[in-house]
Chain A
Amino acid sequence: MPPASVTSRLAAAAAPGFVLERSEAVPALIGGHQDFLFIAGLGGTACDVGAVTGDGAHVYSLGGAMGAACMMGLGLALARPDKRVLVVTGDGELLMNLGALAAIAVIDPPNLAILCVDNGHYGETGWQKSHTSLGVDLEKIAIGSGIKRTRTVAADTDIADGARLLREGNGTAFVLLRVKPTEPAEFKRNFDASLCRDRFRAALEPR
């Protein structure tokens, strides 16, 4: 974890539009977490979702295998059409496998939503700028990939609409949440991937 002076300097250097606090915006967009099964990306979003759900068994968080989150969400959404699946991942994790947006768009499961928490930086590796600080717009990539229901949430006034989209059942939704480059929620997560798999499967009631 970098010292506060580093994150605050980064925040000051962030591109305009990255102004929301993730600690407030992520819980506000998710709302009642019991309504979703979650796949969380590695790093910050795993901590965000862990904190929101109180280490819920309905969350599977990556600790590696960067680029897996969206496609895991697709497999889960197709396996359980009776449940809403929310993938919460970061800009870096999503950038690692942009083709997944195309693969998901052609299937377009109505019970899948993707929330990309975009802080414009690789927070886990020393706060290097990511491509989204340098001109890449992930909502436009989602649109170009064929995802029909997309939003960018960059101000408090956008949150209600973004939250509604994540819960709508008309097709796969993509919400890009732009936030300040600050630390994610404090959360001590479980890195035992196999234990978390067993826990998730055991907690999920049969269809």
Chain B
Amino acid sequence: MVGDRQDVGRESGLKDPRMDTAVDTTRRTGWQHDLYDLLRRHDITQFAYVPDAGHSILIDRSLADPGVHSIPLTTEEEGVALIAGADLGGARAMLLMQSSGVGNCINMLSLIKGARFPFLTLVSMRGDFGEGNPWQFPMGQATQPVLEAMGVICLRIERPQDVIATTSAALTMVFKSGQAVAVLLSQQLIGAKPF
């Protein structure tokens, strides 16, 4: 959700709310940059997002990329509908969100399941490994069951060395086989916020 991590950053006295990601967005190294390059090689041209520190590099790269549309959403379910519309026009879109936003998507996923739209989302997890904010646990722990109940296959990543292989697998499942897939970026991978 908007602001969750930023608020936490202020509470913990961090100057830069994105400091925990510890990656310099100007130097194009690290798995986040490799991940963006992979998504672009697979012709993703619409990046819909709700701001989140875990996705900040992907968001910044898409905003700086003249070859794509970077679409800020007011709520995550808008991204589900956008993906369906892009597919009707023959384009590939994806949704970047935090686990708390998965709950906002539930009924809108009827569109994906009912019409078998290809669907790819990257979900940065809260409320799991090492989480220090108790408010994050209800939706964080419900994220995978909720997605699976709506027909979305979940692939979880815990180590940086697995990011490219797992996301490549997801891209094949979505755009070659027409499946709905959520890649869950765990807090082991992206780091839990210090409190």
Contacts and interface: CB of A to CB of B under 8 A. Distances in A.
A58 B5 CA distance: 42
Nearest to A206: B90
Contact of B84 (A70, A72, A107, A206): A72
Nearest to A39: B85
10 contacts: A37-B88, A37-B89, A65-B114, A72-B88, A79-B89, A97-B77, A100-B74, A107-B69, A197-B87, A200-B88
A69 B86 CA distance: 12
Interface of B: 45-46, 69, 71-75, 77-91, 93, 107-108, 110-111, 114-117
Interface residues of A, number: 39
A64 B80 CA distance: 13
A79 B91 contact: yes
Contacts of A102: 74
Closest A-B pairs by Cβ, 5 of them: A79-B89, A75-B85, A99-B74, A79-B91, A72-B85
A39 B111 CA distance: 13
B101 to A, nearest CB: 13
Contacts of A75: 46, 81-89, 91, 93
Given A71-B85, A79-B85, A79-B89, A65 B78 contact: no
Contacts of B107: 64-66
A125 interface: no
Contacts, number: 121
B90 A72 contact: no
B110 A65 contact: yes
A76 B115 contact: no
B97 to A, nearest CB: 14
B86 A79 contact: yes
A85 B176 CA distance: 27
Contacts of A196: 115
A13 to B, nearest CB: 31
Contacts of B81: 65, 67-72, 75, 100
Contacts of A60: 88
Nearest to B91: A79
Contacts of A72: 81-82, 84-85, 88
Given A65-B111, A71-B78, A78 B88 contact: no
B48 to A, nearest CB: 8
A194 interface: yes
B117 A197 contact: yes
A193 interface: yes
Contacts of A78: 45-46, 69, 71, 86, 89, 91
A194 to B, nearest CB: 5
Given A97-B78, A197-B116, A80 B111 contact: no
Given A65-B108, A99-B78, 4 more contacts: A74-B82, A75-B83, A79-B91, A102-B74
